[in-house]
Structure 1
Amino acid sequence: MSEAAKIGFFEKYLTVWVLICIVVGIGVGFASGDSITVLSDWNIATVNVPVAILVWLMIYPMMVQIDFSSLKYVSQNWKGLGLTVVVNWLIKPFTMAFFAYIFFYHLYGAWMSPGDAEQYLAGAILLGAAPCTAMVFVWSYLTKGDANYTLVQISVNDLILLVAFVPIVGLLFSWFDISFMNGSGEIIGIPYNTLISSVIIFVVIPLVAGYLTNRILIKSKGQEWFENQFLRRLKPISIAALLLTLVLIFAFQGQKIIDNPIAILLIAIPLTLQTYFIFFVSWFVGRFLKLKHNICAPSAMIGASNFFELAVAVAISIFGLNSGASLATVVGVLIEVPVMLSLVALANKWKY
């Protein structure tokens, strides 16, 4: 794997930047007062325009790295790929919802209103149904995973995401009776149109654009230039877009956080437990299947990590910038790097 895949300064300290964004966002919210609602009301259909632009700038640099020509190697290491598919799509979404439900509705009953519990559960469901994409390149590199296998599993994961994300989210929203309201405050059914349009806007379009960019630039400039020059230049754009999105979210969430500062900790606990649980399931099943370390490690990492950019974008599109669901997905961003780095250390310690 190229040098561009190494975890960079900004990625390594992502949690620090998120904490700074919390402070800056709350400050911006208080300084702007009601005028900041101009941004929250700038919507086309159900999609907030400023957030859509920022999220697209986050996701596109990740999608550029996907190479679907790698799918010709799909038959190689089929056990590891099968493990990835089963854990990502048949186990993880449901265990995430289970952990969130137990904590938000029962264990936190004394500290959390039913409305907040429902919103936080919705955000957790969106995180659980969106397994990681590009960051797996980083986790795989740090655990000395097989680069070709990692590329194949990410490509397969993205293709499954296109067709599985909406029905899984819809099913879990229905199971837990998540409520939705239209602009008039009337309760409506699950907004499948919004879910589908979100996948098209935040997955399909950047995925196609990224793939075409990948093919065109590698053909014209070469693989080395693409990895060591182009991808490096895109990284700051992706990080800046992520941080600006978080500032916007916390600008609207500021009063809620000040009124209930323990909310972030309460949300983080079940999300963290879920991450470790999925890693251990994948890791020990991989060991049982006698997968090599360089296959087992990235197989465990892709399920443990989340495609939080998509989860944040969909939460905002469905529930709004100042919703509890959006806050829950942002907490997913907050814990992502420190938790995953601890799992990287564990995988390296258990190398066999």
Structure 2
Amino acid sequence: MGIFERFMSLWVALAILAGAALGWLFPGAFASIAHIEFAHVNLVIAVFIWLMIYPMMVQIDFSSLRQVTDQPKGLVLTLIVNWLIKPFTMLGMGWLFFRVIFAPWVDPATATEYIAGMVLLGVAPCTAMVFVWSQLTRGNANYTLVQVSLNDVIMIIAFAPLAAFLLGVTDIEVPWETLLLSVVLYVVLPLLAGVLTRHWLNRRGQSGQLDAFLAAIKPWSILGLLATVTLLFALQAQTLLEQPLAIGMIAIPLTLQTYGIFIIAFMGAWWLRLPHAIAAPACLIGTSNFFELAVAVAISLFGLHSGAALATVVGVLVEVPVMLSLVAIANRTQPWMDRRAATRPATS
């Protein structure tokens, strides 16, 4: 384990502090970076995320993809958590905190917008960052790809009607440019690059060259994560300074929701006797969010400076540190999961 992975929490904490400080000191520079976007996808962040995902894609062996069907329980668990549990618990968590607990401090109209932002996060399971969480937990790369791809297909069909139902509005216009561009940037292009890289290394016929290449580029994946965290907090530094109380109130239910969904998914994986390499990505994909899509829809429905947009932004800021803590939990429980999975054949 390299120095980056050994002290990951420390590096992320330093990246958060550095990002907030840089954003406060140089607001104009980061305002310019914020405008380097297309279809609500910031292209600078996209480069950093791409850098994180690429090593994961090189690990994918297409000849082994067919084996994914030997473990259908992991896919079923992911779909149940993402589409039948998470959106509704997110709505419930938002209602509990902003209609009951925080009601004396938040006016009803703003509370409605905060809840809407949380719901939009809840109906948008992660597309990009889950590859990073899977890599950090040494998850099955082939299985993770299938999980993400299946969720993306369902999201294209289910996002709009489910969001409309939970928000109580008559029509949700899906920002197709944001959705499709994100899938292409974060799944299709890095997957093609990984396949071509793997094919090129295998054609050279030197044993161990693939492993050596993966070991060489792995630190760049971690650097991409730290750069992403730094930039995210730099871009939102002014918001952090201007609305600390609102951000704190939104962060509490989002954090509890994330841990709660992880616990539900983990209990499901334990009951299903899934091995760690499948259980870890299955648990983490439901707890992570497709924040570009959620932010884009929140802005289109409620406006750039709305409470809904703020809630989706807080979701971005909360996600990385919370997800890293869940990665640590998943890694610590690996022996338990694998021992339980070995007690009987992990077939359907």
SS state at 1:84 partner: helix
TM-score (norm 1): 0.77
**Aligned-pair CA distance for 1:310:** 7.8
Partner of 1:337: 324
Cα 1:207–1:162, aligned 2, differ >3 Å: closer, same or farther?
farther
Contact 1:136 1:301 in 2 (8 A): yes
Q: Runs of at least 4 residues of structure 1 off by over 4 A?
A: 128-131, 307-310, 312-323
**Aligned-pair CA distance for 1:271:** 0.3
The unaligned stretches of length 5 or more in structure 1 are: 1-6, 142-149, 180-186, 287-294
2:174 corresponds to which letter in structure 1? I
Deviations 1:245-296 (A, max 9, x none): 222221232243342263434421110111111010121133xxxxxxxx53
Partner of 1:121: 119
Alignment length (residue pairs) = 318
Partner Cα distance (2:136, 2:29) in 1: 40
Identity within the alignment, %: 23
Partner of 1:4: none
Partner of 2:189: 205
Corresponding residue to 1:18 among 6, 12, 20: 12
Contact 1:93 1:129 in 2 (8 A): no
**Aligned-pair CA distance for 1:152:** 4.5
Is residue 314 of structure 2 the alignment partner of residue 324 of structure 1? no
Is residue 63 of structure 2 the alignment partner of residue 69 of structure 1? yes
Cα 1:196–1:317, aligned 2, differ >3 Å: closer, same or farther?
same
Corresponding residue to 1:278 among 254, 257, 265: 265
Cα 1:56–1:326, aligned 2, differ >3 Å: closer, same or farther?
farther
**244-253 vs 273-282, which moves further:** 244-253
The unaligned stretches of length 5 or more in structure 2 are: 341-348
Partner of 1:172: 162
User: What does 1:185-334 correspond to in 2, within 5 Å?
Assistant: 189-220=173-204, 222-227=206-211, 229-258=212-241, 259-260=244-245, 262=248, 263-286=250-273, 295-306=274-285, 311-312=290-291, 314-315=293-294, 323-334=310-321
Partner Cα distance (1:219, 1:300) in 2: 33
1:284 corresponds to which letter in structure 2? W
Deviations 1:143-168 (A, max 9, x none): xxxxxxx3542343244245234334
**Aligned-pair CA distance for 1:307:** 8.5
Contact 2:56 2:135 in 1 (8 A): no
Partner Cα distance (2:314, 2:209) in 1: 38
User: What does 1:49-68 correspond to in 2, within 5 Å?
Assistant: 49-68=43-62
Cα 1:264–1:85, aligned 2, differ >3 Å: closer, same or farther?
same
Cα 1:26–1:299, aligned 2, differ >3 Å: closer, same or farther?
same
Partner Cα distance (1:19, 1:45) in 2: 30
Partner of 1:41: 35
2:85 corresponds to which letter in structure 1? T
